[in-house]
Structures are given as structure tokens and as C-alpha cells.
Amino acid sequence: MAEILHRSTQDVMPINGSVVCCGIFGALTHTGLWVNGGIIELSGTGLVRSVSPERFIHDRSGDQIYVMANQHAQVLGSAVAANFAQARIFEYLNYDVFSNNCNRFIANCYQFPDCHEVMLFTDLTNKLAIYFNQAVVFYPMRS
């Protein structure tokens, strides 16, 4: 399971293919993929889109974006995932909050063979920890 360091003094900058996240109404976590200075996300309408960091957190409870890294604050990412996500921009997917959400979209970008099992943020981060063969930690994104 990943840890989100809400009070960390360490902050990091994402690289292409880094998973980023923010809070939603204090109960859920929304995920996206950093690509070329923007964040590719699966929106609640089913549209895969690239948004600015400001738009990513707009109308969500969190005011901070967190970036996937390891325990030593070395940012993790995948060029393959970035390219996959970029190729999906403007597609509409059959969005469902439980069965086809932002976490599953990221799992698809990373091309996990069992991405159909990913629903929750913890499901995704467990798969990412296996993929990178190390613990996954989310640090605040440097402004």
C-alpha cells in the first residue's frame, strides 16, 4: 500500500509517466498521469483529457497534487505509460465509479495484465509497487 505524505517538507517534480493524485471530498483519491507538463485523466464523463495541474484539483477537496516516488523521493514514471495515455486523449470510455474509473485507466496505461482487478487507489498502488519493485510514496508536487 502506498503512503501519501500530506505533511512532508520534501516536494518533488513529476516526470513523464508519473502517477499523480489529489483528494476528492476527503474520502477518495483521484489519479492521473503526468505527461509534458499536463495531467492526462479519465474524467467522470468518460472523456480522456489532458488538463493543467490547476484544473486537475479544481472543484476537488484537495488543494495539493501528490507525485509518485520511492521512499528516497526519487520520482517514478514510465515512458510507455505516458505514450499510451497520450494516444487515448479525446477518447470516451464507459466511465463507472466502481468498475471503470481513473485508477483502472492508469492501470491500463501501465498495461498491467490484470488491470481489470483495479478499482481502488490501494489496488492501483499495490500494482505500481510490484511494477517498480519498491514501495510507492506520494510526495507533494513542487509548485
Q: Give the full edge-to-edge strand order of the sheet including 28-35.
A: 3-4, 137-140, 66-69, 19-24, 28-35, 38-42, 48-51
Domain hosting residue 77, numbered range: 3-140
Number of domains the chain is built from: 1
Whole-angstrom distance, CA of residue 96 vs CA of residue 136: 26
Stated pTM of the model: 0.93
Local confidence pLDDT in tens for the 143 residues of the chain: 677 877 788 999 999 999 999 988 666 789 999 999 999 999 999 999 999 999 998 876 668 999 999 999 999 999 999 999 999 999 999 999 888 999 999 999 999 999 889 999 999 999 999 999 999 999 999 98
Residue 119 makes CB contacts below 8 A (sequence gap 6+) with 98, 99, 101, 103, 104
Q: Could you give the angle at which helices 121-132 and 102-109 cross, rounded to 10 degrees?
A: 20
